[in-house]
Structure 1
Amino acid sequence: MERSSQKRATPEPDSEPQPSGVSMRSDRSKKDIIDFKRQELSAVKKDDVSSSQSGLNHQPELDSIFKRLEDNIVTFVKNELKKAQNELNPDYAEESESHCEDEEVLDDEDEEQRRSSREAFRKIIVNFLWKMKQEKLAALLLSKHPGSDCGYKLKSNLKKKFQCVFEGIAKPGNPTILNQIYTELYITEGETGEVNDEHEVRQIEEISRKSGSTETSIRCEDIFKSTVGRDKPIRTVLTKGVAGIGKTFLTQKFTLDWAEDKTNQDIQFMFPFTFRELNLLKDKKFSLVGLVHHFFIETKEAGICSFEKFKVVFIFDGLDECRLPLDFHNTEILTDVTESTSVDVLLINLIRGNLLPSAHLWITTRPAAANQIPAECVDMVTEVRGFNNPKKEEYFRKKFKDEGQANKIISQIRSSRSLHIMCHIPVFCWCNELPQEIHQLHEK
C-alpha cells in the first residue's frame, strides 16, 4: 500500500468521520496510537516537528544554517588548536594567563558544555598526533591536563571500588564505609632487621612495645616524601607487616584519599594492583601500557599510550601472595613500554627502573617474602606496626556508635592483657560478635 505524502485532511464539523485508509500495522498507525496516549505532549511536538520540517524544505535556508555551523566549527577548531600549540610552548604559563583574561564568563551549565567539548576535541588532537608518530607531543599535551576526562573517570571508579570494605570474614550486603572506621596505623621508616622465631603472640607484643619507641613514624599520605637527611628521591617503597596488620587497608585508604582529591594531587595517575590479580595473568603477555589498559580501561578509552610525561604511582599489594617467577638475576632487560612480554618480566623491569623510571612504586608484603625484591631496587623500607594503645580505643569508638557499649568493650579489653596485646593487630578488632567474645574471654 502506498503512503500518502500529503497531510491528513481535517474533517468538516458536520461531516462523518472517514476511515483513514492506513493499516494498523503501518508505521503511521503506530505513531497515531502513541500520540493518542500522549495527546497534549504529542500535539506540541507535532507542531514543532512540522514547523521544523517545513523550514528545512527550503534548501537555501538549510545551506545557510550549515554554512554558519561550518564557520562556528572552524572557529572552534582553530581556537582549540592554537590553545594546544600554546600549551606545548615552553612559555605557556605566561601566555595562558593572558588568554584567561579574554575568556567570557559562563554559567555552570554552559561552562560544563564548553569543558566537555574541549576535552572531546583534545582527544581528537591527541589521536591525530599519535597517528602522525608524534608520541612525545601527544603525551606532553595529555600531561598538561591531569584533570581531564580520563582522570575524572579513573578517580570516580577508584572511589566506587575502595569506599566500602569488608572487615574480617566478608558477608554479602554488609560492607563498611572505609572512611567511617579507618583508624591511623603506626608506620615506621626502616625495619628491625631481626629474625623473630618466638610465638606469634609474643611477636605481636614485641611489635606493640616498639611502637612507643623513638623510631621515625610516617603518615600514610607522606609515603613517597623524603624525610630529613635523605637526599635521594624516593621511587620504590617496600612496606612490611605481619598478617592482618592493615597493609591492604593502608593502600586502599591512600588510593581513596587521592581519588577524593584530599591528598597527593600532584600525582596524575594512581594504579593499584594486587598480586592475586596478577597471578591470573601468569601465562599471558602484555606490554606495560597494555597491562594498565587491561585493568584501567579509562586510560585505553582516552588513547593514552605512554606515561613518561605523567606523575604515576603503581601500588602492588601482597607480594607474599605472588605466584609469578620473579627472577631478578636472569631476566631480559626491557625498556619499551609498548613491547609485549610476560607479566613477571614487566614487573621485574618496572621495579628495576628499566621501565618508567619516573614512576613511583609501593609494594606491600609480609616480612618472610620481602627478600624477593633485591635491596638495590628499594629506596625506602617501612613497617606497619598496627594500632598503638590510643588508636585501639579510637577504632572501637568509631566501630560502635553507642558510647556505653564502646566504653564497656574498651574496659574489658584493658582488663585482659593478652586481648589488649592482640588488639594491636586490626584484624583481631574486626569480629562482629566482639562484645560476646570479649565477655567470654574475660570470664575465663
Structure 2
Amino acid sequence: MSELTDRVDALMPRLVEDLKRLVAIPSIAFEGFDRAPVLAAHDLIVELLRDAGVADVGRLELPDTAPIITATVPGPPGAPTVLLYAHYDVQPAGDEALWQTPPFTPTEIDGVVHGRGAADDKSNVIAHIGALRAMDGRPPVTLKIVFEGQEEWGSPFDGYPVTDPGFFACDAMVIADMGNIEPGRPTFTTALRGDTEVTVSLRTLPEPKHSGEFGGPAPDALIALIHALATLHDDRGNVAVAGLRDDTWTGAAPIDDDEFRRMAGIAPGTPLFGDGTIADRLWSGPAITVVGMDVPKVDGAVLAVNPYARAMINIRVHPLQSAAEAQDAVVAHLESIKPFGLELTVERSDAGNGFEATTTGPAYVAAREALRRAWGAEPIEVGSGGAIPLVSGLHDAVPTAEILLFGAEDMQCNLHAPNERVVIDEIRRTVIAMVEFFHRYAAGQQS
C-alpha cells in the first residue's frame, strides 16, 4: 500500500494540472450552447487516455448527443472485466455574480480546486486517468472505459446499453459520478432515485384584464395554478400524490436534521418539509419540486388579472418504482384537480428510472477493503436523491454485473450550484482506492 501511495502522490501535481485544463473548457452540452468546447473536452480526454498508455480509444456516435469516448485496456488472461464510467460535460455556470472565483478559470486555494465541473464530473474523469497512470496502463483486470459527453442535459445514450449489451458486458462497473457524504468519509451510493418532469399550465383569458374592472369574477390563471400546486403536499410538507412509493430507509442514516441544515445552509428554526428521517425523505421517498414558473415579475408588474400560468414540476422517484409509473400518478393527480372548475393541461417529459444495488458480491467485498485502506475509515452505504438514468440502463443491459458508485465528489462540493469545488485529497484517495480495488478484485476472482 505504501508503494501505491507513493506512486499516486508523485502523480498528483500533474493530475491537478490536467484537471485544471479540463475545468477551463466550458463543456456545456445544453441546447443553445456552443458545441465546440464539448468537443474540445472530448479531444483533451482522448489525449490524456493515450498518454496514460491506452492504445484502443474509440468513439461511439449516437444521434442527438455528444460523442462517447470508449476504450478497452486488456488485463491478464482470465481476469475479470470492470467498466469505468464518468462524464465530461458540465452544468451551465448560472449567475456568475454568485461565484467567488470565475467558473471557468480553475482556481486552487488551500488544497481545493474551484470551478464549474471541478467535481461533477471532471474530478472523476481525472481519477480514472490517474488510476491508469498509477498502473502504467497495465491493469490486473480488463478495463472498459465509457466517458459520456451529454449526461447533464440528458441523452439517448441512457437507453442505448440495452440495445447493445455485448458492448457493455463486464463483471463489475465503477460509476464515478458520485462521491463521499463528506470529505474523508468513504461512501458507497447504493440507491438512486428516479427522475421525471411534468409541465402544467392553463389559460383562462385571451389577454390580461384590468384588475379593478375585471378582478374578482375574472378567473386568475396564476391563482388557479397556485391552488393546484398546493395539493401536491400535505400541511406538513409530505408528498400527497397517491401512487408514489414511499418507504422507510433501511440502511445507514448518517445525516440528522441538524447536519442536513448545515449542509444545505438552512437557518436554525426554519422548518424542514415532511416527516421521517432525512434518509427517508432523501433516499427512499418521493420528492416533488416546482423548479420553474412563468409568472410576471414583481418589478414592473401591471395591475391585471393573469390570463396564463405555467409551471415545471420535478419528481424524484423511489429507487425501485418505475419513473413512468410515478409520472402517471402525478399527471393523474393534476388532471383530477380542477381549481375553481378550471381544466389544467399537463405535459410529460422524459422519465429515468432509479436503481438499487446488490452489495453482497465479490466486487463489493474487494471495494470495501479498498476504500477502507484508501481513506483509513470504514466505508458507509447511503442513497442519493439525485438521478443517473444511465445506471438503470446499464443494469438492464448487464444485470449480472455488480455496480459500484463512488468517486472524488462529496455532498458539499456545490455541484450544479455556484462555487463548485473539489478537494484534491479526495481525488488522490479515489485513485488509490480504484487501483487497490482492481488488484483485490482480480486476486479474489482468480483465487
Question: Shared topology, TM-score over 0.5?
Answer: no
Higher strand share: 2
Relative to the length of structure 2, the TM-score reads 0.21
Q: Higher Cα Rg: structure 1 or 2?
A: 1
Relative contact order (C-alpha < 8 Å, sep 6+): which is higher? 2
Relative to the length of structure 1, the TM-score reads 0.21
Higher helix share: 1
